[in-house]
Amino acid sequence: MRFRRTVAALVALVLSATACTGADRARTALDWTGCGDGFECAKLGVPLDHDRPDGERIQISVIRLPASGDRLGSILVNPGGPGGSGIEYARSARSVLSEAVRARFDVVGFDPRGVGESSPVRCLSPSELDAYLSLDGSPDSPAEVAALEEGSRRFAAGCRSRSGKLLPHVGTADAARDMDLLRAALGDKGLTYLGKSYGTQLGAVYADLFPGRVRALVLDGAVDLSLSPLELNATQAHGFEVALDAFLEDCFTAADCPFEGPVKPAREELAALLGRTDQEPLANKSGDGRRISEAWTTLGLITPLYDRQAWPVLRQALNEALKGDGTTLLRMADLLIDRREGGAYSNQTEANMAVNCVDGRFPATSAALAEAARDSVGDAPLFGPSVMWSSLPCVYWPAKATSQEKVDAPGAAPIMVVGTERDPATPYEWSEALADQLSSGVLVGFDGDGHTAYLTGSACVDRLVDDYLINLAVPKDGVRCPKIG
């Protein structure tokens, strides 16, 4: 399963400054210390295993930006992933939440367990991650399948050897229970929360576990928790295809578009490009020595589809790639997987896999994934196979899956679910489904492109979200915000 995270989170990874540091804090209290630019940081002790509350404890890193005005309480934020850093996301609070919301709430971010600074899952060295991510993610020969299987086994084995004790306890339900302990430590009677992308899954599971402790939840770019992992993969892959078509239609109107149109021949050119990189990598002028194969090219193509504002960069990258230079595509791929300058990685890729593998029940054999990859070509010819095969390490995962197969949050206060109609990573039908599954779900639709809707340019969405968060004003279910421009 590919990452479900916001472009704002990608930007936050580039712009973020100092993160929280310091010694372990008290088990139930938050001892805040300044950590730069008006932020305060702390540690929260939580049980490794919530079924054994008096057993071993781990530390959750927390950051907050105090409210600038008449304070109502705290608002927790999560950027998605799984594996996205809530610490880094909150450091971009001034672009994550409106000024009106920041005036009334302390903005609080935390790295969920297994992520970033909160007992991070570790599996592979940077060079091993380079090698894993370079594997052909859409194998079309027995040798390529064997290489991907071996790489996926090594990924799972690395996680077992370096993080084995943690792996059974990094699921979304565990993180939701941590979030309730954080809510209590902050002194809030009810949770106010903005979750984007995978953060909607975390918020929905929280509401299902603690429906009476919900004040206001905004779930933007939702995940449909009723789907199996392979169904999620298939729908997401189709979402990327829809977003690609939207990009191409826009591209044809630009002077620097590398395609003349219509969509079908442009797609054929892209398919030919990916086919060539399977045999002959694109040139890499970054100097880091990586071969820009089909795997890196595909990641670089997917990344700008998350945000319409990145489409000019994608036009530039494709102009270069069609002339044999993949450097800009590689830089885009590095943003998605959080590979930093010099070759270091955050643990996002490892945490993403660890959470996904315990949250969902995956097939027991690679043959089942191979069949799913073949079946995906009809609806997602460019992206289907690679998205399907991306879950292969879960076939060999050393920790038992504990999936949350249904959420309804009976008795919870109204929960706002926001969906963007041409969202590439969390297709609109997922938002419709989650709003329907939640007993108090209210759907807000946006006729837009890109991943998630709040603070992406729609004054309509922003107004509805702000009024709900601050004043608990619940919009009419099914309200639709118009296209921008």
> CB of 175 within 8 A of CB of 363?
no
270 CB contacts (<8 Å, ≥6 apart)? 244, 301, 318, 382
**Cβ of 228: how many Cβ atoms within 10 Å?**
14
Q: Is 423 one of the annotated active-site residues of the chain?
A: yes
> CB of 43 within 8 A of CB of 116?
no
Choosing from 178, 451, 458, 462, the catalytic residue is: 451
Place of tokens 């603070």: 455
What is residue 283's DSSP assignment?
A: B
Place of tokens 């086919």: 275
Q: Is 169 one of the annotated active-site residues of the chain?
A: no
For residue 29, how far is the Cα from the chain centroid? Answer: 29
Q: Is 228 one of the annotated active-site residues of the chain?
A: no
Choosing from 197, 366, 390, 431, the catalytic residue is: 197
For residue 449, how far is the Cα from the chain centroid? Answer: 17
Whole-angstrom distance, CA of residue 97 vs CA of residue 190: 19
Pairing of strands 479-481, 4-5: unpaired
Whole-angstrom distance, CA of residue 40 vs CA of residue 31: 9
For residue 391, how far is the Cα from the chain centroid? Answer: 15
> CB of 411 within 8 A of CB of 268?
no
CA angle 119, 123, 126 (to 5 degrees): 110
> CB of 155 within 8 A of CB of 395?
no
Choosing from 307, 334, 423, 462, the catalytic residue is: 423
User: E-assigned strands of 227-303?
Assistant: none
CA distance readout (Å), 379 to 120, 228, 235, 245: 36, 17, 9, 13
* Nearest one of 124, 194, 135 to 354, comparing CA atoms: 124
- What angle do the packed helices 142-163 and 366-376 form, to 10 degrees? 120
Tokens of 263: 């969509």
> CB of 41 within 8 A of CB of 32?
yes
What is residue 118's DSSP assignment?
A: B
* Nearest one of 167, 147, 145 to 156, comparing CA atoms: 167
Whole-angstrom distance, CA of residue 440 vs CA of residue 281: 51
Which residues are known catalytic residues?
Answer: 197, 423, 451
